[in-house]
């Protein structure tokens, strides 16, 4: 595969708006998605069993299901962090399987934000440096980076005295909010969050979810997150249940 493919731009910008409505161009579309891993003894493990799944622009959707049901695998494939065994993933009109590694990295940088269970902040960078990382890669000038990060921190309730701290001097909740700021500040079309509240106490987790939902409503950024936390499921506007690598329930609450 060529490493120098020109990055195709998304076909049409999604309109911000209502969740899961019919007839809208989906922001995410997976077709017959299969992922088979091999375990240590090279025994195949079928993590996804042919998943057909769509997300409309503006949704705030949770994928729930027991441990091992395939949630992380599905998010990783939608985020282009891993390749399916078979089937396709289309995000913002782009078939991810058609992109070279480099083109995929560029596509992710301009379209996606990631929030992980373990925050994944870079330990040697300050809160501000972590949050501005994608803007730096995008070539945004320093002054603009600084202003945008400060604004994001303010919106997320991250106090200005924390901006020069390294992650090990921040609480779990503060680290996760910095990770959310990092994902949001470049205004991606889609934010993928893998169990974003897993390492937070329930009050901090609930506050973070309310913040994310508020941002979703204000900015129209689409959120797709995995969880097995009932508090998170309660706050989702659409709840998809995954079992043994297949969607078994899909409920829109409006
Ligand atoms: P969840 O996030 O819902 O807990 P995962 O997507 O992590 O589920 O895992 C789905 C299945 O795939 C599980 O059986 C898991 O053990 C297996 N699996 C996940 N990642 C790997 C891997 N890198 N190598 C082998 N098996 C894996
Ligand atoms: Mg997982």
Q: Distance between CA atoms of 74 and 46, rounded to whole angstroms?
A: 12
Evaluate whether residue 101 is within a structural domain: yes
Residue closest by Cα to atom 16 of ligand 1: 68
Which helix (H) or strand (E) segment is 247 a member of?
strand 246-252
**Averaged pLDDT, 202-209:** 88
Evaluate whether residue 165 is within a structural domain: yes
Quick one: pLDDT at residue 117? 86
Ligand 1 neighbour 39 (Cβ under 6 A): yes
Which helix (H) or strand (E) segment is 54 a member of?
strand 44-55
Q: Is the pLDDT of residue 144 over 90?
A: yes
Extract the tokens encoding 32: 């017959």
State whether residue 135 is helix, strand or coil.
Answer: helix
Domain count, the chain: 1
pTM listed for this prediction: 0.88
74 Cα–ligand 2 center, Å:
9
Measured in whole angstroms, the distance separating CA 74 from the mean position of its chain's CA atoms is 11
Evaluate whether residue 79 is within a structural domain: no
Start-to-end CA distance of the chain, whole Å, equals 43
47 Cα–ligand 1 center, Å:
6
Encode pLDDT of 30-88 as tens digits.
999 999 999 889 999 999 999 999 999 999 999 999 999 999 999 999 999 999 999 99
> In which domain, by residue range, is 210 found?
57-69+96-253
Evaluate whether residue 175 is within a structural domain: yes
- In ligand 1, the atom with minimum distance to the C-alpha of 48 is 10
19 Cα–ligand 1 center, Å:
29
Write the CB contacts of 215 (distance below 8 Å, at least 6 apart in sequence).
Answer: 155, 184, 221
Q: Is the pLDDT of residue 103 over 50?
A: yes
Residue closest by Cα to atom 15 of ligand 1: 68
Q: Is the pLDDT of residue 23 over 70?
A: no
Identify the burial level of 236 via C-beta atoms within 10 angstroms of its C-beta, where 0-12 means exposed, 13-18 middle and 19 or more buried: buried
Evaluate whether residue 208 is within a structural domain: yes
Q: Distance between CA atoms of 243 and 63, rounded to whole angstroms?
A: 10
Evaluate whether residue 194 is within a structural domain: yes
Q: Distance between CA atoms of 207 and 195, rounded to whole angstroms?
A: 15
Q: Is the pLDDT of residue 226 over 70?
A: yes
26 Cα–ligand 2 center, Å:
24
Q: Is the pLDDT of residue 14 over 90?
A: no
Extract the tokens encoding 82: 């891993």
Evaluate whether residue 204 is within a structural domain: yes
**Averaged pLDDT, 11-26:** 52
Evaluate whether residue 182 is within a structural domain: yes
> Whats the size of the chain, residue-wise?
254
Ligand nearest to the CA of 74: 1
Give the least confident one: 32-46, 55-69, 201-215, 221-235: 201-215
Which CATH number goes with the domain that contains 196? 3.40.50.300
Quick one: pLDDT at residue 119? 87
Quick one: pLDDT at residue 200? 86
Quick one: pLDDT at residue 22? 58
- In ligand 1, the atom with minimum distance to the C-alpha of 66 is 3
Ligand 1 neighbour 67 (Cβ under 6 A): yes
Pocket test for ligand 1, best of 34, 66, 68 (most atoms within 8 A of CB): 68
**Cβ(228)–Cβ(195) under 8 Å?**
yes
């Amino acid at each position: 595969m060529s490493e120098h493919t020109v990055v195709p731009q998304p076909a049409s910008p999604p309109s911000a708006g209502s969740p899961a409505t019919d007839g809208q161009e989906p922001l995410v579309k997976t077709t017959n998605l299969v992922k088979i891993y091999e375990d240590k003894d090279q025994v195949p493990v079928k993590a996804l069993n042919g998943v057909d799944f769509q997300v409309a622009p503006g949704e705030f959707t949770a994928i729930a299901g027991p441990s091992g049901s395939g949630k992380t695998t599905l998010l990783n494939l939608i985020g282009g962090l891993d390749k399916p065994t078979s089937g396709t993933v289309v995000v913002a009109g782009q078939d991810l399987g058609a992109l070279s590694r480099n083109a995929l990295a560029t596509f992710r940088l301009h379209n996606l934000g990631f929030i992980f269970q373990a925050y994944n902040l870079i330990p040697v960078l300050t809160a501000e440096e972590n949050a501005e990382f994608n803007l730096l890669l995008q070539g945004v000038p320093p002054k603009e980076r600084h202003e945008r990060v400060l604004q994001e921190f303010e919106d997320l309730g991250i106090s200005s005295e924390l901006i020069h701290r390294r992650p090990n001097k921040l609480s779990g909740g503060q680290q996760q909010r910095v990770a959310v700021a990092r994902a949001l500040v470049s205004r991606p079309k889609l934010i993928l969050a893998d169990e974003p509240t897993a390492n937070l106490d329930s009050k901090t987790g609930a506050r973070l979810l309310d913040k994310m939902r508020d941002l979703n409503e204000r900015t129209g950024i689409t959120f797709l997150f995995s969880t097995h936390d009932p508090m998170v499921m309660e706050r989702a506007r659409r709840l998809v249940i995954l079992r043994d690598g297949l969607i078994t329930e899909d409920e829109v609450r409006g």
